[in-house]
Structure 1
Amino acid sequence: LHPWSGDSQALARVAIPNAAQLGAWKALAAELGKGRGVLSDRLAEHQGNHDLLSARLEALRASVDVTDDDAADVIRRARDDAWARHRHDLTGETADDFAATLARDDSVGAGRLANARELVEIRSTNRNLVETAATIAHARDQLARNGSDREAVLLEIRTVARELLGPCQETSPEQLIELIEDRIAARIDALAAWEEIELSRKKAERAVDEEGRIRLELSRALASVGVGSDVGDSLETVMAVAELFLERQFKVDAERTEALKTVGTRQEDLAARRRAVEVAERREDEWQAGIAEALKGTWLERGISVPGMGGVLDQLAELSKSLQDREAMQLRIEKMVA
């Protein structure tokens, strides 16, 4: 359950942000990230312009020997101050100072007049440089506010998902939201795994109970056929004894089945022989009835038995042969006479 601790009930009680809250954080983080990117690009652009203007101003100042407005203002104020002191003191020293500052101011004025076009360009570049610096400062302020907003979002996310996140080092809302989603998925998987463990534990308990019931039933069944088993025997031992008994019983049953099959075969043979005897007896009765019918009206009708009938038949067969021999002899005689 890392980074969490405790059991499944404790994990189930961990508060998690809902989908709507995550969606709002994602939208806000995306908006802040997009704004930060735009501001960073603008700041880089303005900084580049500032560098170009600074380089251009330096190049202009190096190309012409002209006093800029600030330096000219300083020289003009020095001239005015010297004039004010001279009017107040009216000494030779103040007059010399005023003359020197006046000459310097005139020289600067003449130089600025001679390079008026370059001076205008310097003024324009300097003004653009000041405006660009102000724009850069404004962009930096906006970036700072963007950073403050991001920190506020981070603080809100950490506060709401404190139990879910635990100690973490992520410093951006996007990374923190991604971590929250991963932790939510891990929490779901952990709870599902815990349910599987509980289900497996219950199945194991039922299996143990079922094993005891089966062992008891097997022991009773073996006892009913005179095979004993110890109370402390395991299910495997009882099953081995039962299998040995069943193997022997299968052999006995097979022998009994074979014996029953042999008896059945013998009974079928006996029945077939009985049917043959019945057919023979029936045919004998029919034959005797036929003989009796044939002998009606003769001297043999009442005075001959079945064995005697056999002798009569033999004599008749001999008589038939003698008659055939007689006919053959008569035929020869007739042929000889002819």
Structure 2
Amino acid sequence: MKVITLEEHIESKLLTDEINKAIGKPTLPDLSKDMQNYMQTSLPTPADMQDVDNRLKFMNKYGVDMQVLSYGNSQPQNLDPKVSVRLCKLANDELAKVVKGHPDRFAALAVLPVGDPQAAAAELKRAVEKLNFKGVLLKGNFDHKFFDDPFFFPIFKMASDLDVPVYFHPSFIPQNITDHYFGNGEWSDVVTGIASSAGFGWHMDVGIQVMRMIWSGIFDKLPNLKLISGHWGEMIPMFLERLDDELTNYSGLKKPFSEYYRHNVWLTPSGMLSEPQLKFILDEMGPEHIMYSLDYPYKQPKNGKTFLTENSALTDEQRELFAHGNAEKLLKL
């Protein structure tokens, strides 16, 4: 069975060096000893992010035929457009080289200078038409604006025109929200840091991002626009009926929230390989709107292959759609 994974991250030493030259090497805030230890032992190293040979070894070991690559934390999306326009072009060119070196094993999602939406739309067009990229990944938000803001509309109009998907990826939430929801002197700042990010907080944040896109009415303007949401939809699928019940009469949308969600959004697990979650998502979304992802190298689940091959929740037809079929259709692989 062919396996394609969609949320797999990479970095470029050349790009990171160029970012550091442009804005100065980033300095970490004052962190406790516990938090420093956590970051050193739990997060991928630059070598993990950059080493293509190790990536291929992992893929071969766990039966991954193709990874759709996107940039990790060291990327220029949210920098000042004075530097991000140039650096995003460099980033996409560097990523294209990786794909060109192994075209049967890798595809790519573009990174865009979102602070200049017209330049971002032009770069997306270049990345798709010239570099053969399969879509774009947008990380977090920009300048305290969610992407439903009309400022960003040219990006989504271009994605719709090109018929490529937009993958919404989490990022760190503002400090005041971290403090309000997750801070407490009764527990370690490691708990606060993890809870506000990979544990819960950034999933909540990017789930709200997708909700806001629907409420903005963008799918009435761009019915061909396609979004991808990781981590089984960042908690939103559990509330589809609730959102319909509470908001349909007030949203001003042409259809209930869940109709847009089930039609215009595709979900991936991002390495959260849990059978109960898979069963729930199958019931809520149907087998045509789920695709596979492992979140390499942040996550390297040892059941990455067996979750597909031995999972009783899937019929043979559903297994093929989940493992590769839906990705091939949506991303034109």
Normalized per residue, which structure has more strand? 2
| Structure number with larger C-alpha Rg | 1
Instruction: Give TM-score scaled by structure 2 length.
Output: 0.14
